[in-house]
């Protein structure tokens, strides 16, 4: 049986994630043991026990989420459920590529490890911030970003999460000014995010260049199914396009609204969200109330899946 899989990214993490899987499945134990070696740290303990501030660090959050999403997907896959289409939100795109069998667990985790460190380092050297704008038309947010940006003071939309939620990203002063402007023209709320850099903005260009070398050095396998990608919200099975889009993702916005709308045009309205918390389920409901998203994040939910 084939299903459509979606994978959340950074921000979906929570202390304790993966412990239930570790306690119930040998596969999870094996993957966490491999991960601890690749990460050269006890990433399993950070996922299981925190503390929250340590788990929230980009270099821990991204690999932790990827590990758990891969374990969950493989456990679901063992029940005879194959992917028809896949997509992931930002970091989740790496899990989606794993689900499409483009690379194995070790290769994917090494890429995610490199990505998280590159983003952290770039963020430290190129200080920026991000903010969620709630309850304001997307076009108006784009106009505000354009009007505020000049010279080194740049701010851009980073995540088109739902019609009522867009995340902006850029230099601290530009993000702060854009938040004020958005409030003035009707935003219900503006929330500065606790992140280590201006992700999905031009301030991530150095990280993008680092990842370009890493990604191009790896031989990707032909995917088992199409992936709808963040950069252009279009499906593809072309390896060269997948690599280009994965590289561009670092300094381009995540087009999640368009991604779900593209699924809808393909006649797809049912999804399995693989990962902690139900983040994408919430976004999907706001994009299209007819969408049905089932979240899988623990052993009970895996065992209850009906084929």
Structure confidence by residue, pLDDT tens digits, 33-42: 999 999 999 9
Query: Which residues on adjacent β-strands are paired with residue 82?
Result: 2
- Domains, the chain, with CATH or none: 2-124+202-303 (3.40.366.10), 127-192 (3.30.70.250)
Cα distances (angstroms) measured from residue 29 to each of 12, 32, 159, 226: 22, 5, 34, 30
Q: Which two tokens stand for residue 177?
A: 């000014």
Residue-wise over 16-43: b if at least 16 C-beta within 10 A, else e? Answer: ebbbbbbebbeebeebbeebbebbeeeb
CA triplet 204, 210, 215: central angle to 5 degrees?
115
pLDDT tens track for 90-142 = 999 999 999 999 999 999 999 999 999 999 999 999 889 999 999 999 999 99
First-last CA distance in the chain: 7
Which H or E run contains 111?
Answer: helix 105-125
What is the torsional sign of CA 206, 191, 67, 85? negative
3-state percent breakdown (helix, strand, coil) of the chain, nearest 5: 50, 20, 30
Q: Which residues are catalytic?
A: 90, 200
Q: What is the per-residue pLDDT for 59?
A: 96
Burial class of residue 300 (count of CB atoms within 10 Å of its CB; 0-12, 13-18, 19+): exposed
pLDDT tens track for 4-63 = 999 999 999 999 999 999 999 999 999 999 999 999 999 999 999 999 999 999 999 999
Best CA proximity match to 254, nearest among 185, 169, 135: 169
CA separation for the pair 284, 279 (Å, rounded): 9
CB 44 within 8 A of CB 63: no
pLDDT tens track for 181-220 = 999 999 999 999 988 899 999 999 999 999 999 999 999 9
Residue 115 is given by DSSP the state H
């Amino acid at each position: 049986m084939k299903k459509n899989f979606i994978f959340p990214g950074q921000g979906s993490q929570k202390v304790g994630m993966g412990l239930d899987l570790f306690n119930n499945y040998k596969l999870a134990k094996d993957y966490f043991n491999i991960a601890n070696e690749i990460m050269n740290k006890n990433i399993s303990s950070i996922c299981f026990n925190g503390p929250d501030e340590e788990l929230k660090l980009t270099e821990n959050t991204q690999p932790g989420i990827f590990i758990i999403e891969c374990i969950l997907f493989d456990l679901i896959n063992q029940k005879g459920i194959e992917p028809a289409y896949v997509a992931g939100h930002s970091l989740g795109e790496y899990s989606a590529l794993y689900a499409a069998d483009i690379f194995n667990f070790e290769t994917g985790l090494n890429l995610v490890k490199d990505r998280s460190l590159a983003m952290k380092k770039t963020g430290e050297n190129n200080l920026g911030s991000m903010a969620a704008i709630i309850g304001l038309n997307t076009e108006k947010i784009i106009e505000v970003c354009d009007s505020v940006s000049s010279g080194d003071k740049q701010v851009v939309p980073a995540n088109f999460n739902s019609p009522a939620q867009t995340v902006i990203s850029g230099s601290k002063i530009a993000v702060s000014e854009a938040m004020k402007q958005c409030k003035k023209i009707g935003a219900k709320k503006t929330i500065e995010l606790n992140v280590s850099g201006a992700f999905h903005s031009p301030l991530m260009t150095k990280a993008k260049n680092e990842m370009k070398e890493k990604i191009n050095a790896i031989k990707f396998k032909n995917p088992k199914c199409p992936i709808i990608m963040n950069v252009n919200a279009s499906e593809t099975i072309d390896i060269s396009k997948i690599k280009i889009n994965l590289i561009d993702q670092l300094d381009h916005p995540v087009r999640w609204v368009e991604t779900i709308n593209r699924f809808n045009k393909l006649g797809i309205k049912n999804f399995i969200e693989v990962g902690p918390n139900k983040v994408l389920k919430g976004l999907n409901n706001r994009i299209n109330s007819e969408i049905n998203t089932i979240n899988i994040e623990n052993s009970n939910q895996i065992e209850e899946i009906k084929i």
